[in-house]
Copies of this chain bind each other. A is one copy, B any other.
Amino acid sequence: VSAPVFQRVALLGLGLIGGSIAAAIRQYGLAESVSAFDRSSVALNKGLSLGLIDEAAESVAQAVTGADLVVIAVPVLAIGEMLRSISAFVSPAAIITDVGSVKAPVIATAREFLPRFLPRIVPGHPIAGSERHGVAAADSELFLRHKLILTPVAETDSDAIERLSAFWEAMGADVVQMSPEHHDAVLAQTSHLPHLLAYALVDTLSQQGDSLEIFDYAAGGLRDFSRIAASDPVMWRDIYQANSGPVLAILDRYTQELLALRTMIKTGQFDALEEVFGRAKFARDHFSKVLSERAEQATLGDDA
């Protein structure tokens, strides 16, 4: 599939992700024009002055009217409301997508409030980000060689999936498809749980005696955790609210394992502890190897 060129892309939300999509559209020539709406006029003016967008829309209605692709790039709990607010203005032929970190609630809202748009709604999630925030950090290569997960449902048009896949692939992303429920479970495990553990660790340690001293010794292992605890608190609060079920499920399994390790230390079962560490190291090394071989084959495939 060759890269699609959309007539008019409406970007709802112009932060790091929205801005980076705008930058990539420019770089790869994926749209005739890009209109953006954001509650922040500062962000919109920045987008204009950086040459990322053609139009700073004054309303959601203005942005989506005439658009053949609508990308919702707002915080995860605002996606549902945004979907409802565009329904009166968006063309029935437009493809609608989002970039939220949790997918089942988006589908649920679409099914309940916008059933006639359901075939053209293709929820998406780029597994890409940065510690930097806002449109000023926009990067046309943010999605390059990163996973982009689409979570279509039974009703979704295959044509809409194909066009949106080609759009993301043209920006360099590695597009995969899975069900919304599976996406939310996988992300709870690989992203939402690790972030929760990191926040809890940094918060616990910062309440210890000389916490400045503790962070001074962060090279010993804490540093990797503390980096992800610098993420945006509001964004993450919303993620746990939107994905509470899958997060609690994996958190409970994790806590069980942690308590088992505690018992081993407490009761002197150090051989059992070593066995767990060995199993974890084996799994980590095995998966690293398989995935790097796979990446190598993909690269060889590109060359051929």
Q: Mark A250-294, 1 if CB is under 8 A from B, else 0.
A: 111111011101100110101101101111110111011011000
Chain B binder among A88-96, A109-117, A163-171, A228-236: A228-236
Chain B residues closer than 8 Å to A302, beta-carbon distance = none
Chain B residues closer than 8 Å to A283, beta-carbon distance = 202-203, 206, 211, 215
Whether B281 contacts A229 by the Cβ 8 Å rule is yes
Whether A190 contacts B220 by the Cβ 8 Å rule is yes
| CB of A224 closer than 8 Å to a CB of B | yes
Whether A265 contacts B248 by the Cβ 8 Å rule is yes
Given contacts A146-B219, A248-B266, A284-B230, contact A254 B189 (CB under 8 A): no
| CB of A301 closer than 8 Å to a CB of B | no
Whether B277 contacts A199 by the Cβ 8 Å rule is yes
Given contacts A221-B195, A255-B255, A283-B203, contact A291 B215 (CB under 8 A): yes
Whether B196 contacts A230 by the Cβ 8 Å rule is no
Docked complex Cα distance between A215 and B219 (Å): 24
Q: Classify the interface of chain A: helix, strand, loop or mixed.
A: helix
Distance in Å: Cβ of A101 to nearest Cβ of chain B: 9
Given contacts A186-B217, A225-B194, A233-B278, contact A265 B247 (CB under 8 A): yes
Distance in Å: Cβ of A172 to nearest Cβ of chain B: 14
Whether B241 contacts A270 by the Cβ 8 Å rule is yes
Chain B residues closer than 8 Å to A227, beta-carbon distance = 224
Contact of A266 among B189, B208, B222, B244 (CB under 8 A): B244
| CB of A87 closer than 8 Å to a CB of B | no
Chain B residues closer than 8 Å to A284, beta-carbon distance = 202, 206, 215, 226, 229-230
Q: What 7 A-B pairs are tightest by C-beta distance, nearest first?
A: A191-B220, A206-B283, A233-B277, A215-B287, A194-B221, A224-B224, A237-B274
